[in-house]
Amino acid sequence: MSKEQTPQCSPTRKVGAWASVRTKAGHWYAARLAASVRAAVFGVITLGCSETRDLGSTSPHGLLPVDERNPVVLANDNVYDNWQGEYAMLLASSGGPKLAGIIVNTSPPWPTIDDNVKGWRGLVLAARSSGLRDIPDPITSIGDRLVRPASGQIADTTPNRSEGAQFIVDASRQLSLPYRPLVVVTGGRLTDVADAFLIDPTVTDRVVVVSSLGSATDTGGSMAAPNGEMDPWADAIVAARFRFVQVSAFYDQLSDVPSSRVSELPNNPFGAWIAAKQPKIWSDANAADQVAIMAVSIPSFTVTVQRVSASTAGPRAAAGPDLVTGPEGNAWLVSQCSSAEASDRFWRVLLDPATYRP
């Protein structure tokens, strides 16, 4: 997708009504996984039990079916090409979504799982060492892209049963509430999410997927590059079975931490991490995977949304299915956003001493 075709963020916010989300409402995995989920459960249940279930508390904020009150699991490949992880951790420390898990996988640009996990561990260490709270350990997830079966039927797909997929299933069972589902925020291929469905089809009752992916088109959207080309059959499964939000509104992420502001970074390991990472950030706007976590965390970030559903034509060789506009669609397409407020929030939290507790 050329840069001219990339939907850009706008400082202007449009206001509109949006349909509320349809809601529906053990398994031993591993000691490390269980500990991570239990820790997240404690924090999220504490928040959830304090809410009254009237219309004001359960209706989503903003234009999407989820908001900053939903627990979040990140799923991505490498940590160095964008600011997704940093945004998620800072927002979680300032009234944003509780960060329930970090799934690390691979992609064509980032094929080495050990390098990818090492990078995320470095970010987690810097965040914890600086006093950021409730930052989970990254989970290594190994799974090849899914293969469309000869029958073309989703149910006949052979699952990977990856670590990331099992974590999504387990975390959703423990963290999801009927009116507050778990959100899986992706910045790469959708393999682990689709694999979770193949392991347990009821996971779709408990999970909403929000992905930095694809582009907007005249008729809706395309599950193509960025990220949509990496596993077209997984795209098709997610678009057909999950409540799915495709965020196809990108921006110049070099403006998040420009060289002129590096000297302002906090004097702690988290600030040092950002300073060291800043020269490595990709100049390609389509690499800005943080748009997905922004869309969940900051209601005013999302400006333009339409309801869509997967085309019956199915996926193509190098892309998932097209998303066709229609009022009854099970998916939402974000085609315009406002990055200015998100960047301002990022810096306010980053520079606030209260963010970093002993």
What are the 10-residue block averages of pLDDT along the chain, 358 residues in total?
48 37 38 50 43 58 96 98 98 93 98 98 98 96 97 97 98 97 98 98 98 97 97 98 98 97 98 98 97 96 97 90 95 95 94 91
Domain ranges in the chain?
3-355
State the alpha helices, DSSP H only, in the chain.
31-49, 55-58, 84-92, 113-129, 163-175, 191-199, 232-241, 269-277, 290-297, 339-351
pLDDT at 8: 57
Strand extents, DSSP E, 144-284: 182-186, 207-212, 215-217, 220-222, 243-247
278 CB neighbour count, 10 Å cutoff: 17
pLDDT of residue 7: 53
**Residues in CB range of 280: below 8 A, 6 or more apart:** 80, 81
Q: Specify the CATH class of 3-355 in words.
A: alpha beta
CA distances from 22 to 64, 83, 134, 204, 207 (A): 12, 31, 29, 11, 11
